[in-house]
Structures are given as structure tokens and as C-alpha cells.
Amino acid sequence: MHDDLPEEDIFLTSGRLRPDVTDHATARAVRESLSLARSTNWDSVRTPHLFMGLLTHPDPGVFNWSSRLGADLSRLLHQFHELFRQETIEPVPPLLLNREFLSDNVIRTLRDAYSRAKDHGRTQFNQMDLLIILFTAPNSIVAECFERIGVTAARLTELAVLAEQDRF
């Protein structure tokens, strides 16, 4: 195994995401990020697509986070979709939930979410792990979008952690 990869990687040798590293709701949201990448005319999945996947198929924690933020999930999804939609005349190539179709930031986000779950004694990462990593990652595009409207990454993270605690 490579020195830059965790000892237990979240990807199979084929490049596919291991099916045992996410819970059902998170797997569904991550799969949806593929459709969102296609519908916004990107040739790879980026972190905003992961975020939009969470908004499309939210678990109770993401619902709780959005309520605490005072945000309407469908409106927020529409805003992100419009913000990250690229105009293109070429058809978007097929995308798979495979390492080669994920940006480096998405790969890092997924690995960090898995690591966070393990740090909390869980074998699978969930939507709150992803959401918190999306807000706390250095140079987070998702957090930057909120910063533009006056909501800091620290505030987003605080609300997400409170929402996560409510689940338990």
C-alpha cells in the first residue's frame, strides 16, 4: 500500500468505494452526488456535489442542521445547483462512484469522514461526518459559499455538531 494512503483504505483495489464504509442514507447521498455532477455539467464529482447529495437525501441530522441554520433544504439545493452549474456544449461523460471520477478534495473528504467515524467508535461514516468535514476542511468551497453570505465555517460546524448531538 502507498505511504500516503491510510492503512485501511475506503476504496477497493478496483477504485470503487467500499460498500461497508457508509451507512445506507450516506451511500444514497454519495450516489446522488454523481447525478448532481452530471446535471451541473462537471466531468468529476466535487465537494459541492457531495453537499448537494446530502441536501437531496438528508438524514435526520442534516434536517436538524438545516433547521438550526434556518435554511430550506430545497431552496439551498437549488441555489448550490445554480451556483455550480457549468454551461457546456459537450456531453458529460459517464461517471461512476469510482476514485478516478472523484476530485482529490472529495477523496480526502470521504477519507476524513471515515476517519472521524472511526475516532467516534463507528465502523461507518454518516451524513453528519461528511457535513462536518465539508465545513472544516481547509479552503472548503462549500464553507466559502456560506461565508459570502455572512455565515462562518465555525458557525456551520457548531450547528452541525449540535445537530449531531441531538441524534444521540
pLDDT in tens, 64-90: 999 999 999 999 999 999 999 988 767
Determine the pLDDT at residue 26. Answer: 97
CATH H-level superfamily of 24-167: Clp, N-terminal domain (1.10.1780.10)
Q: What is the pLDDT of residue 94?
A: 75
Amino acid at 91: P
What is the rounded average pLDDT of the residues 128-151? 96
| CB atoms near residue 70 (< 10 Å) | 8
Q: What pLDDT score does 90 carry? A: 74
pLDDT of amino acid 3: 40
CB-count burial class (<10 Å; 0-12, 13-18, 19+) for 31: middle
Placement of cell 465545513 in the chain:
135
| Model pLDDT for residues 16-33, shown as the tens digit of each residue | 999 999 999 999 999 999
On the question of pLDDT at 1 being above 70, the answer is no
pLDDT for 49 equals 97
Cell numbers representing residue 67 in the block: 433547521
pLDDT band, residue 155 (cuts 50/70/90):
very high
Residue 100 to residues 21, 96, 128, 144, Cα–Cα distance (Å): 18, 8, 25, 25
The domain spans of the chain are: 24-167
Work out the average pLDDT over 109-114.
97
DSSP 8-state secondary structure symbol assigned to residue 87: P
| Average pLDDT value for residue range 144-167 | 94
C-alpha span between 110 and 94 (Å, rounded): 21
Mean pLDDT value across the chain: 91
Task: Please state, as a whole number, how many other Cβ atoms lie within 10 Å of the Cβ of residue 84.
Answer: 21
- Nearest to 23, CA basis, from 132, 130, 168: 130
Note the pLDDT tens digit of each residue in 39-61.
999 989 999 999 999 999 999 99
